[in-house]
Amino acid sequence: MISRDGVAGLVCLAGSLGLLVLTRGMPTPALVPIGPAFYPRILFVVTAVLSLALVVTDLARRRRPAVPPARYRLVVLTFAIFTAYVAALPWLGYRVATLLFVAGLQVALEAPRVRWRRSALVALATTLVTYYAFEVYLTVLLPRGRLTGF
Amino acid sequence: MFEYLLASLVEVLRPAYLLPLSIGTLAGMIGGALPGVTITMTIILVLPFTFGFDPLQGLAAMTGVYVGGSAGGLVTASLLGIPGTPSAIATTFDGFPMARKGQPGRAVWLGTWASAIGGLLGAVFLIGATGPLAAFALRFGPWEYFSLFVFALSMVAGLTEASLLKGLLSGALGLVVTVIGSDPIMAVPRLTLGTEFLRSGFQFLPVLIGIFAFAQIMTDLEKMAGGAAPPRVEAPNLAVSHLAVIREILGRPFLLLWSTLIGVWIGVLPAIGGSAANVMAYDQAKKFSKHPERFGTGTPEGIIASESSNNANVGGSLVTIMAFGIPGDAVTAVMLGAMIIHGIQPGPLFISQEPRVAYGIFAAYLLAHPVMLVLQWLGARFYLKIVQVPKSVLIPVVLVLCTVGAYALNNIMENVYVLLIFGVVGYLLVKFRFPLAPLILGVILGDQIEVNLVRALMTDANPWLFLTRPLSGGMLALSVGSVVLALWQHRRQHRRGAAQAGEPDTDF
């Protein structure tokens, strides 16, 4: 039976071998003895060997480390909302997307005891303070929305 | 040297520098006091605000965060029994019992003054050792640099608490991140799969922000119940005789010096931070004590050892980044990224090429301690109130600042996508119990390892030179030695049945 270590080792092994194959297409320079593929090849061989060792060690282990229980609902939810935020930034612009993200994530994390007024105020304050601090004071041009125009 | 230092002290005392330093120190103390927000996280959040500053202003603010953060954790550690940062864990052991015995002011101020004194002793080492170490490193050729970086990586991999194999693999994965994009010698695109997104490779800071911020936040979220209310806190009276507290600390010179030395030494070792320093100093203090049985019951020795070591650790970490360009921990890794953004390359030439910035960092480090004392005096009770900020409010704000920090590096969305990708990668690595420190060090040193390896082989194709040149060979021997030692220690631990089953510490 393979544990998390073994799975990680197999994923890293597959990745290393895949990348090693990709180095075959790299050009060989005519003027210098060492090309761009030289170092990556050494590295991928090292990574593959270490990954393989991790798999073998895992298979040879008699006692498996206990996996502590964890609740993933909020983790998955937060990743999903953050991904939506990142995707929305170029379309809605920084101000609209940030306002929705901060309010939405607070609601998701507080449910079912949502404090609506506080969530709205925090979202508004975060958006305005960061917008003025970065765009006005630090002259960082924050993303503009293709749909909203600002 | 002293003329430069004096001139820098005068310069940093000007409002243009003192203000960022003070704000940085305050931010560090608040971040340090907040459980779940590490100093690394705080410096990541402060980073985007420094982009518009001149390099010294930005680095002064970051130095302030570093010093303030190391001291800020002790307030919640002593008064609530919750270490605000991992570098205050050992402070909890005696600070909290002392506060519960009715001496909260003594607990907080013993820690604060020990932090300040330990930090200033660390500054003596920083100022005295950086120049000579940098001068020594100037003798290095590409062979020695390659071996030094390999030594740093192998040592960090060996020192991680998870398995040695995973430490080494984590470091190698960090190196893999750096080979994607244009190669550093001839700028040939590598492993880009024909996409423009991968052509310029991954910038170091969005990778670091993604890995650390998400690893920390998502691990916290696993433990968080929906809508859980934060604890209600009553701020106690912290009045105390400061002279008596200082006398109490200085009356234990051996303890103070030994803890400071441990802090400095842990700081010098690449990628190990105050979280290891305070626990190790506490353990040593207990071993050397005539009354070890008093430890854990509110003895001042425990607080002094923990707090003097974690602030001295800052000085040690700054030495390695300034003399060798190797970050001492995650905080200096972010500082290294900030330096590169400002066009400054840390390493042996840093102090001679950028004396104003280098001595400015020394001055900022020295001045951050009195600033920290004043801020602690003004706001210790306020920092305690901060734990009442609910995570549901804090996390969205932190994620917005991380996003802006990644975006503002070049004003491009690609950096935000990198942040998200490495956020997922960082969290998965934590779940698979991979240590993050070797990974980050690999990302930081990857380009330099490749450049120096190729440069050495182009200068002389004989690969044995890596072993036959005394310094290079010595460092490679030390690399092998550190791996063998780690292997021996891991085996011994396993035999004692102390194999860890828990999640690894996400503090760098």
Pick the residue with more confidence: B489 or B263?
B263
Q: Which residue of B has its CA nearest to A40?
A: B179
Residue of B nearest to A88 (CA): B413
| Each residue's pLDDT tens digit, B186-231 | 888 898 888 888 888 898 889 988 998 888 889 888 887 655 555 5
What pLDDT, on a 0 to 100 scale, did the predictor assign at position B289?
Answer: 85
Best of A12, A21, A74, A99 to mutate (most B CBs within 10 Å, chain B): A74
- CB contacts under 8 A, B 33-52 vs A, are 48-49, 51-52
pLDDT at B497 over 80: no
Is A29 in CB contact (< 8 Å) with chain B? yes
Question: Which residues in B136-156 are b (16+ Cβ under 10 Å) and which e?
Answer: ebeebbbbbbbbbbbbbbbbb
CA A78 to each of CA A82, B105, B136, B422: distance values in angstroms, whole numbers, following the listed order? 6, 40, 49, 15
Q: Residue B499: is its pLDDT beyond 60?
A: no
- The answer to whether B499 and A3 have CB atoms below 8 angstroms apart is no
Q: Nearest 5°: phi and psi at B104?
A: -65, -40
Instruction: Give A-chain residues touching B457 at CB under 8 angstroms.
Output: 33-34
**3-class SS string, B389-413:** CCHHHHHHHHHHHHHHHHHCCCCCC
- Nearest CA-CA distance, residue B423 and chain A, Å: 9
**Residue of A109, A117, A140 best to disrupt the B interface, most CBs of B under 10 A:** A109
* Residue B35 in tokens: 């459980």
Give pLDDT, residue B274. 65
* A140 interfaces chain B, CB cutoff of 8 Å: yes
Contact between B218 and A79 using a beta-carbon 8 Å cutoff: yes
State the average pLDDT over residues B301-324. Answer: 88
- Neighboring chain B residues of A106 at a CB cutoff of 8 Å: 392-393, 396
For residue B298, the one-letter residue type is G
Q: What residues of A are in contact with residue B427 (Cβ under 8 Å)?
A: 75, 79
Mean pLDDT of A40-57: 95
Backbone angles phi, psi at B35, to 5 degrees: -60, 135
Chain A hits for B420, CB-CB cut-off 8 Å, are 82-83, 86
* Assigned domain for A90 exists: yes
Q: Is residue A111 part of a domain?
A: yes
* Listed residue (B456, B183, B445, B195) closest to A36, CA to CA: B183
Where do runs of H (alpha helix) occur along A23-138?
Answer: 38-60, 73-110, 116-131
Domain of residue A42 covers: 4-60
The rounded distance, in Å, linking the Cα atoms of B428 and A15 is 15
Distance CA A34, CA A76 (A): 45
The answer to whether residue A18 is domain-embedded is yes
Of B426, B215, B171, B166, the closest CA to residue A9 belongs to B166
The SS3 of residue B359 is helix
Neighbouring CB atoms inside 10 A of B465's CB total 17
* DSSP letter (8 states) at residue B53: S
* pLDDT for the residue numbered B160: 67
B455 touches A at CB < 8 Å: no
B228 touches chain A (CB under 8 A): no
A81 domain-assigned: yes
- For B101, residues 6+ apart whose C-beta sits below 8 A from its C-beta are B298
Q: Which of A61-65, A107-111, A135-139, B462-466 has the lowest mean pLDDT?
A: A61-65
Give the confidence band of B316 by pLDDT, cuts at 50, 70, 90: confident
Phi, psi of A148 (to 5 degrees): -90, -25
- The answer to whether the Cβ–Cβ distance between A89 and B434 falls below 8 Å is no
For residues A130 and A81, membership in a common domain is answered with yes
pLDDT at B504: 43
CA atoms within 13 A on the CB side of B112: 28
Are A55 and A107 within one domain? Answer: no
Q: How many domains does chain A fold into?
A: 2
Predicted pLDDT of residue B486 = 82
Amino acid occupying residue A68? P
> Which one of A60, A81, A99 terminates a domain?
A60
SS3 (DSSP) at B273: coil
- Do A82 and A37 share a domain, yes or no? no
The per-residue pLDDT for range B334-377, each reduced to its tens digit, is 888 888 887 888 888 888 888 888 899 999 999 999 999 999 88
Q: Do A5 and B420 touch (CB under 8 A)?
A: no
DSSP state of B225: P
The model's confidence at residue B500, banded by pLDDT at 50, 70 and 90, is very low
Q: Does B433 touch chain A (CB under 8 A)?
A: yes
Mutate to test the interface with B, among A28, A45, A82 (most CBs of B within 10 A): A82
**Domain presence at residue A65:** no
> Mean pLDDT, chain A, as a whole number?
90
Same domain (yes/no): A77, A45: no
The answer on A82 and A41 residing in a single domain is no
Question: Least CB-CB distance to B424: which of A27, A68, A79?
Answer: A79
**Does residue A82 share a domain with residue A52?**
no
How close B408 gets to chain A, by Cα (Å)?
A: 6
Residues A80 and A110 in one domain: yes
Tokens of A55: 């798999």
**Across the interface, do A86 and B395 touch by the CB < 8 Å criterion?**
no
Residue A54 domain flag: yes
B226 touches chain A (CB under 8 A): yes
Give CB contacts under 8 A, 24+ apart, made by B501-504: B501/A65, B501/A66, B501/A67, B501/A68, B502/A68, B503/A68, B503/B219, B503/B430, B503/B431, B503/B433, B504/B160, B504/B161, B504/B162, B504/B430, B504/B433, B504/B434, B504/B435, B504/B436
Contact A43 B175 (CB under 8 A): yes
Both tokens assigned to B237: 């009276």
Mean pLDDT, rounded, for B470-474: 93
- What's the distance, CA B205 to chain centroid? 15
Of B399, B431, B412, B443, the residue nearest B210 (C-alpha): B399
Task: Give the span between the Cα atoms of B218 and B210, in whole angstroms.
Answer: 11
Mean pLDDT estimate for chain B: 85
Question: Do A89 and A116 have their domain in common?
Answer: yes
Is the pLDDT assigned to residue B505 strictly greater than 60?
no
Share of chain A above pLDDT 70, in %: 94
- Report how far residue B237's alpha carbon sits from residue B70's, in angstroms, rounded to the nearest whole number: 22
pLDDT at site B506: 41
Looking at residue B232, what is its pLDDT?
Answer: 63
CB B295 within 8 A of CB B93: yes
Question: Pick from B168, B218, B404: which is nearest to A134 by CB?
Answer: B404
The verdict on a CB contact (< 8 Å) between A43 and B179 is yes
Size of interface A-B (CB pairs under 8 A): 183
Query: Who among B190, B222, B431 is closest to A26 (CB)?
Result: B190
A77 and A127 share a domain?
A: yes
Asked if residue A52 and residue A9 are part of one domain, the reply reads yes
Task: Check if A98 contacts B (Cβ < 8 Å).
Answer: yes
Contacts of A145 in chain B (CB under 8 A): none
Q: Which amino acid is at B223?
A: K
**Closest alpha carbon within chain A to B163:** A54
B78-130: per-residue pLDDT in tens? 888 877 777 888 898 899 899 888 888 899 999 999 999 999 998 989 888 88
Name the residue of chain A whose CA is nearest to B420's CA: A83
- Each residue's pLDDT tens digit, B381-431: 777 777 778 889 989 999 999 999 899 888 899 999 999 999 999 999 999
**Do A106 and A132 belong to one domain?**
yes
A90 touches chain B (CB under 8 A): yes
Residue B437 has a pLDDT of 81
Considering the domain boundaries, does residue A126 fall inside one?
yes
C-alpha to C-alpha distance for B299 and B293, rounded to whole angstroms? 10
CB–CB of A141 and B450 under 8 A? Answer: no
Give, as one character, the DSSP assignment of residue B349: T
Higher pLDDT among residues A73 and B161, named by residue: A73
Q: Region A56-77: what's the mean pLDDT? A: 80
Average pLDDT over residues A134-146: 87
Residue type, A52: L
Q: If you average pLDDT over residues B47-61, what whole number do you get?
A: 87
The answer to whether B89 touches B83, Cβ cutoff 8 Å, is: yes
> Is the residue at A94 inside a domain?
yes
CB atoms inside a 10 Å sphere around CB B251: 11
Note the pLDDT of residue B502: 44
Q: Do A50 and A8 sit in the same domain of this protein? A: yes
